Amino acid sequence: MDAYVTKYNLPSGCCKCITANNQVDRFYTDPEIQAKFDERLVHILQHWNPHFKKPWGHLHEVVASFSPENEAQGHLWSVDKGWWCRRAQAMKALPFAANMHPSIPVSTGGSIDLADALYQQLYVCPAIDVVDIHTYSTDACDINKIARISATWALGQGKRVRLQEFGYKGPDSQKTNKLIPIISAANELAVPFMPWELLRPENGKDYEFWVEGDLWHQLALQSEVAQKKVSAFSWPELPSSQPPQLLANWLLCLVPVSCREVPVQAAAALRVPV
């Protein structure tokens, strides 16, 4: 992003760490900048790594997904909800599709707030395969509600959903109390979860998980639960010693008793221009 700030003279408060002065609106709205960013995405996919003897876009053995940007348009008042789709289309467009392995999905890269994961344009875009949910909320019920709607829409559009980033600042005991209910909420819906992030040694002043203590123990237990869950989603790009258990005859609801709880608008067909 710094290169675009310099080249296009985008207002920035980074030099004094006054993030409120950062004005990145033009990065997401200027046609020239968007075209240059698309070229950068394609360049990344086409980059030839001499150690692997193939371009990055073909490293399906080690790449779970590609996203155009992490938490794009975060904290902007006005969001271009079609931005993700246009970037995904550029990543998959001919003649560049030959440089992206077909088994590697394109994901959204996450949201800032839970509600951002419910932009309908993400679900109707043919080029987007996975909708990523990011949240640092500790309201497990709210996360369950948003994930339920997101997964419902995704199933209706042939896409997948994952809780890709979450965390909490605090000592091990507080992290455990705040985060395990969130993981349980994801497991209830059989939505995969990806903690942000695993570190050693521990640091209670940041959002990371660390690889010891009660949180680590509980995370391991919840991971075992997730492995045994019957899911509405398949993840064929992730090798597993056991074939996935997929739910049969699922239509726009994730657990039988929840069908009557899903809002009508969640079950409606999405017809939103991108």
**pLDDT one-digit tens code per residue, 167-186:** 999 999 999 999 999 999 99
Report the alpha-carbon distance of residue 46 to residue 69 in Å, rounded. Answer: 17
pLDDT in tens, 93-103: 876 567 789 89
Residue 7 has pLDDT above 90, yes or no: no
Query: Average pLDDT, stretch 206-228?
Result: 91
H helix runs in the chain, sequence order: 2-7, 25-29, 31-46, 83-92, 120-124, 140-156, 172-188, 213-228, 264-267
Report the alpha-carbon distance of residue 48 to residue 55 in Å, rounded. Answer: 4
Domain ranges of the chain: 107-274
Residue 90 has pLDDT above 70, yes or no: yes
Query: Average pLDDT, stretch 70-89?
Result: 91
Report the alpha-carbon distance of residue 127 to residue 129 in Å, rounded. Answer: 6
DSSP 195-238: -S-EESS--TTSS-EESSHHHHHHHHHHHHHHHH--BS---TTS
The chain-wide mean pLDDT, for the chain, equals: 83
Of 18-27, 60-69, 264-273, highest mean pLDDT: 60-69
Q: What is the pLDDT of residue 51?
A: 86
Residue 242 has pLDDT above 80, yes or no: no
Q: What does pTM read for this prediction?
A: 0.85
β-strand pairing of 209-210 with 130-134: unpaired
